[in-house]
Amino acid sequence: MKKFVTLFLVFLMLLPLSLFSEDIELTTEELKLFNQQKLSYDVQSGAFGGIGNYGSISMSTYKLWVPYQGFNQIGESDFFELAGYPKEAMEAEKYDNIRSGLSIAGLIATVLGGVIALSADYSSPRYYLGYGTMTIGASLATAGMYMYKQNKYPSNIAESVMTEYNNGLKLKIVERK
């Protein structure tokens, strides 16, 4: 009962805000311009995994938001940069560099380790060095690839940034008259 009363009171407090909030009407040409410049995002989700050496199954789910400006896909750092959030854009760029670096370095270490292991005699220290390098490289590459299924910032932050930017964009378009 307390939850119902609380929700009802919150609804009553927010009702006047929604009654007096004004939505900006755009002409057809202004709407075309808005649609070409607005920020939006699409949410992608799914699962991936694999079967280990001993029959163990590993699975992970992901939810990734993909940003757009108008009809063009952009990066997460570009999304925040356009919206006027340079600090967040810089953090998203760092995150992108880390995941790219992990993936590339991991793949190189995996290949290098494989070459070292294959060129050595079985049970020699060089063989174990190659096998260890290959294992560590595969782990780094997997970590980097997994990071590609995540954003630096969650979609609820992107939603609020997008709404703020798009409302400001509508005002700018209307003021150009």
Distance CA 106, CA 139 (A): 7
Q: Considering Cα of 96, then 36, then 45, then 154, what sign does the dihedral take? A: positive
For residue 5, tell me if it sits in a domain.
Answer: no
Please report which helix (H) or strand (E) contains residue 33, including its range: helix 28-37
Q: How far is CA 164 from CA 21, 40, 137, in A?
A: 14, 11, 42
Strand partners, 45: 63
Per-residue pLDDT, averaged over 66-78, amounts to 94
Over residues 134-168, the pLDDT tens digits come to 999 999 999 998 888 888 888 889 999 999 999 99
Distance CA 162, CA 4 (A): 31
For residue 50, tell me if it sits in a domain.
Answer: yes
For residue 78, tell me if it sits in a domain.
Answer: yes
Per-residue pLDDT, averaged over 123-127, amounts to 90
Per-residue pLDDT at 69: 95
* Two structure tokens written together for 155: 């979609």
Strand partners, 90: none
Distance CA 66, CA 56 (A): 32
Per-residue pLDDT at 12: 47
For residue 66, tell me if it sits in a domain.
Answer: yes
For residue 2, tell me if it sits in a domain.
Answer: no
Per-residue pLDDT, averaged over 37-56, amounts to 75
Distance CA 147, CA 62 (A): 10
For residue 7, tell me if it sits in a domain.
Answer: no
Strand partners, 61: 47
For residue 16, tell me if it sits in a domain.
Answer: no
Per-residue pLDDT at 48: 61
Confidence class for position 1, pLDDT limits 50, 70, 90: low
For residue 9, tell me if it sits in a domain.
Answer: no
Domains of the chain: total: 1
Per-residue pLDDT at 22: 54
Helix, strand, coil % (nearest 5) of the chain? 65, 15, 20
Could you tell me the residue range of the domain that residue 74 belongs to?
34-175
% the chain with pLDDT above 70: 77
Confidence class for position 23, pLDDT limits 50, 70, 90: low
Please report which helix (H) or strand (E) contains residue 88, including its range: helix 86-118
Over residues 101-117, the pLDDT tens digits come to 999 999 999 999 999 99
Confidence class for position 18, pLDDT limits 50, 70, 90: very low
